[in-house]
């Protein structure tokens, strides 16, 4: 039978289009339990590669005949070998090109909606890492918010849309992934904005991103307005785009809220987090569509693959926005912090410009799920 290659982009379409897939993950059990490819209609079997060296006869009956079977490993080699063994046993099978390394890196651009006078806003969904980046497009110009490190994805997309990237923003100094913001700005001549309270240790030039800053994109005058919203970091800043969308960075997610401890200041910042969530955001229009910088699980995706929800709905449904007691809120936040993101201290150093790891080192730093939310 035949061994087929499946790309991360093809897996992403299966996730977004709610297609079925059976995944045979041949990584070690702890790696699989910590982080796997999530899909609404995916089934899984985790058998470490070393347990299959003597043959795959025992697992063949466990592989369904009525859906695609995809073998997954960390970097591709082990999955290809297992796939060839399954093929030799008489079954068609796929392997994931580039393994989980490629899955972690893949970005799927999806249109979120239309803006005034022909403008558009796009969400770049990094399914394997839970990261969400944005591009606002209007009249030949673009602004990017919270870009991940794959700058060519954004610059190539801008070329496809025939727009010039004029402004690049980071809502805060990221700790769970490496930002591509200043690198995109350098490559395109765009202005790079970073909150100054998060930038005290950076070693590069930037334009201060401060409360009430308004940047216009395109001749249609789509406003990208900044709203100081500390709590995840002391400098965290949200954006209101075209009076329709609220980009919350890592302060507010669909099913959770941001963690305040990645700079070691949870006790100091939890009060800022509550102030932002329970006061600053409550003063905003409930019809604003919340667009966060991360999602935690596949259930947060809408039918078209975007991650977005009305602020009013989140105020009603998100548990983190419905804790009446300030003391209970403080305990809920500080007592339910997940493990720190992989290499988060090093990632902060990269995003400050203090160290410059090569591409393979950056990939290793980012491997694994995002952990920006309170559980």
Q: Which residues are catalytic?
A: 73
CA dihedral 237→238→240→244, nearest 10 degrees, is 180
For 42, 57, 82, 157, 173, the CA distances from 165, given in Å and listed in that order, are 37, 54, 44, 10, 21
**Residue 76 three-state SS:** coil
Element (H or E) spanning 187, and its range?
helix 181-188
With H, G, I as helix, E, B as strand and everything else as coil, classify residue 105: helix
Q: Radius of gyration (Cα) for the chain, nearest Å?
A: 21
Q: Provide the β-strand partners of residue 171.
A: none
Distance CA 8, CA 104 (A): 9
Tell me, rounded to whole angstroms, the distance of Cα 131 from its chain centroid. Answer: 0
Residue recorded with tokens 């490629």: 102
Q: 41 - beta bridge partners?
A: 20
Give burial (CB, 10 Å; 0-12/13-18/19+) of 80.
Answer: middle
How far is residue 250's CA from residue 268's CA, in Å, rounded to a whole number?
17
């Amino acid at each position: 039978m035949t061994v087929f290659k499946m790309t991360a982009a093809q897996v992403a379409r299966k996730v977004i289009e709610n297609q079925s897939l059976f995944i045979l993950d041949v990584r070690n059990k702890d790696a699989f339990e910590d982080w796997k490819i999530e899909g609404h209609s995916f089934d899984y079997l985790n058998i470490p590669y070393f347990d299959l060296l003597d043959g795959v006869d025992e697992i063949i009956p466990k592989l369904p005949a009525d859906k695609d079977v995809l073998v997954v490993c960390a970097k591709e080699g082990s999955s290809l070998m297992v796939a060839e063994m399954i093929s030799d046993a008489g079954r068609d099978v796929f392997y994931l090109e580039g393994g989980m390394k490629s899955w972690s890196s893949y970005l799927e651009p999806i249109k979120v909606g239309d803006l005034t006078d022909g403008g558009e806003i796009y969400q770049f969904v990094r399914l394997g890492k839970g990261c969400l980046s944005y591009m606002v497009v209007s009249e030949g110009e673009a602004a990017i918010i919270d870009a991940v490190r794959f700058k060519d994805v954004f610059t190539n997309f801008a070329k496809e849309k025939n727009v010039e990237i004029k402004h690049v923003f980071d809502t805060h100094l990221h700790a769970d992934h490496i930002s591509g913001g200043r690198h995109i700005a350098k490559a395109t001549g765009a202005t790079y904005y970073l909150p100054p309270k998060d930038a005290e240790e950076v070693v590069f030039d930037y334009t201060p991103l401060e409360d009430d800053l308004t940047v216009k994109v395109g001749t249609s005058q789509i406003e990208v307005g900044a709203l100081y919203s500390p709590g995840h970091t002391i400098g965290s800043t949200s954006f209101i785009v075209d009076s329709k969308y609220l980009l919350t960075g890592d302060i507010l997610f669909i099913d959770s809220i941001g963690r305040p401890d990645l700079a070691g200041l949870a006790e100091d910042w939890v009060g800022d987090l509550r102030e932002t969530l329970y006061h600053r955001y409550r003063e905003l229009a409930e019809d604003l569509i919340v667009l966060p910088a991360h999602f935690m699980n596949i259930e947060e995706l809408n039918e078209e693959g975007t991650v977005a929800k009305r602020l009013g709905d989140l105020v009603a449904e998100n548990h983190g926005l419905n804790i009446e007691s300030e003391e209970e809120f403080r305990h809920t936040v500080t007592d339910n912090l997940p493990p720190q993101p992989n290499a988060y201290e090093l990632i902060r150093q990269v995003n400050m410009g203090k160290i410059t790891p090569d591409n393979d080192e950056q990939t290793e730093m980012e491997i694994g799920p995002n952990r920006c939310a309170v559980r």
